[in-house]
Amino acid sequence: MPANDKTIGGLHHVTAITSDAQQNIDFYCGLLGLRLVKLTINFDDPGSYHLYYGDESGRPGTALTFFAWPGAHRGRIGPPQVSATAFAVPAAALEYWASRLKDKSVELQSSDRLGDGVISFSDPDGMALELVGVADSKGNPWSDGPIPLAHAIRGFHSVTICEDGYENTARLLSDVMGFSAAGEERDRFRYRAGSGDGFASIVDLQCVPDARRGELGAGIVHHVAFRTPDDRQQEAWRQQIAGLGFNISPIMERIYFRSIYYREPGGVLFEIATQTPGFTVDEPVEKLGTGLMLPPWLESHRTQIERVLPPLRLPRIARKES
C-alpha cells in the first residue's frame, strides 16, 4: 500500500488531441460551457496550441486539455486507451443537457450506470464524452459562461479505461496508488481514489479482450493525469514507481504544475501532476484564457511562434441561456 506521506486525490487533468483548435473552443466553451483557462503552446511542439479548459479557476479535477494538431487524422477508440471522459453535473440537470445537446444536433444516448444517470455523446473529433448526474453538485463553474449555474458542469466525474485485461491495472490502482474497489457492472470495474474529498476521484476499468486495438489520433485521449499535493509527494511517488520496475520520466516543468509520466501495465500513459502552482501563476483569475501565454524559455521567440500559430476567436463573456 502507498505510504502515508503521499496521496493521490483523484484526477488532475485529461489530455486529448484535436484536429481543429477553433472548432474545439467553440464546442467546449460555447456548447458545454467550460472556461478556456489557459491558451498556450505544446511545450514539446511549440508550433501548436495547447488548450486548457476547466471551471472558474481551472482547479485540478476540472481541467480537460487538448494538443491542437491541425489536420490530424481521426483516431480509433480501443484498448489500451481512455475510452470515455465523464463530467459531473447535478442529477436534476440531465434533462436540461439532453435537450440542449439535441437542440444543437449532437447525437446522444441516455443510460443508467451503477446507480447514476449518464448521457453519452461525442465531440467534433469523435472523442467519447459523458455527463453523469450526481447528488453532490458542489463546484465552481464558469460564472460568465453560457450555461445556467444550476446546470453547469462541476468537473470530472471519472474516466473509463478499456483494457484487454484489467487485473494488473487494478492492482496498480489499489496496491500502489491507494484506490479502492467501488462497484462493478458486467465488464466494468470501478475504483475510487482513497484520499481527498471524493471530487473527480473515479476510474472505471472496462475489460474488452476481443475489442480492436485503439489508434492514436484526433478524438483520442493522449494521457490521464492524477493529482498529488506538492513536489515532495510527487518525488516520493516517482521513487516508489521507479522502484517497482516502471520506466518513469524525470520531473517535467509544466509551469502550472510539475509532471511525471509512466505507462501502467495495460499501456495507458499515466501522469502524476502537482496541484500547485495552478493557472493563476502567470495571469489573474479574471484574465484566464484571454491571451497567449508562453513559458519563460520561449518568450523570446514569441514573434516567430505567433507567426506560425493560426488565429483564434477566443470566448467572450456570454449571456446565460435559459
Q: Determine contact, residues 79/211, Cβ cutoff 8 Å.
A: yes
Q: What is the pLDDT of residue 244?
A: 97
Residues 252-281 pLDDT 10s: 999 999 999 999 999 999 999 999 999 999
171 Cβ neighbours under 8 A, 6+ residues apart: 265
How many C-beta atoms surround the C-beta of residue 29 within 10 A? Answer: 22
- Max CA-CA distance within the chain? 54
Q: In 3D, which of 263, 257, 187, 190 has the Cα closest to residue 224?
A: 263
Q: Is the pLDDT of residue 100 over 50?
A: yes
Tell me which residue has cell 456548447. Answer: 31
Residues 30-88 pLDDT 10s: 999 999 999 999 998 999 999 999 999 999 999 999 999 999 999 999 999 999 999 99
Q: What is the pLDDT of residue 138?
A: 78
What is the architecture of the domain spanning 10-308?
A: Roll (3.10)
Q: What is the pLDDT of residue 2?
A: 47
User: Residue 198's pLDDT band (boundaries 50, 70, 90)?
Assistant: confident
Percent of the chain with pLDDT over 70: 96
Give the SS3 label for residue 49.
strand
Q: Is the pTM of the predicted complex or chain greater than 0.75?
A: yes
CA 179 – CA 174 distance, rounded (Å) = 5
Instruction: Please give the mean pLDDT across all residues of the chain.
Output: 95
- Tell me the mean pLDDT in the region 232-246: 97
Q: How far is CA 246 from CA 36, 76, 169, 260, 270, in A?
A: 34, 26, 13, 12, 11
Tell me which residue has cell 457492472. Answer: 185
Q: Is the pLDDT of residue 195 over 90?
A: no
Q: Determine contact, residues 274/234, Cβ cutoff 8 Å.
A: yes
CA 29 – CA 22 distance, rounded (Å) = 10
Q: Determine contact, residues 252/37, Cβ cutoff 8 Å.
A: no
Q: Is the pLDDT of residue 320 over 70?
A: no
CA 300 – CA 302 distance, rounded (Å) = 6
Residues 122-136 pLDDT 10s: 999 999 999 999 998
Strand order in the sheet with 179-185: 109-113, 116-122, 128-134, 81-90, 155-163, 202-207, 188-193, 179-185
User: Residue 321's pLDDT band (boundaries 50, 70, 90)?
Assistant: low
Q: Determine contact, residues 52/42, Cβ cutoff 8 Å.
A: no
- Tell me the mean pLDDT in the region 227-254: 97
CA 67 – CA 219 distance, rounded (Å) = 10
CA 37 – CA 314 distance, rounded (Å) = 11
CA 196 – CA 194 distance, rounded (Å) = 7
Q: Is the pLDDT of residue 234 over 90?
A: yes
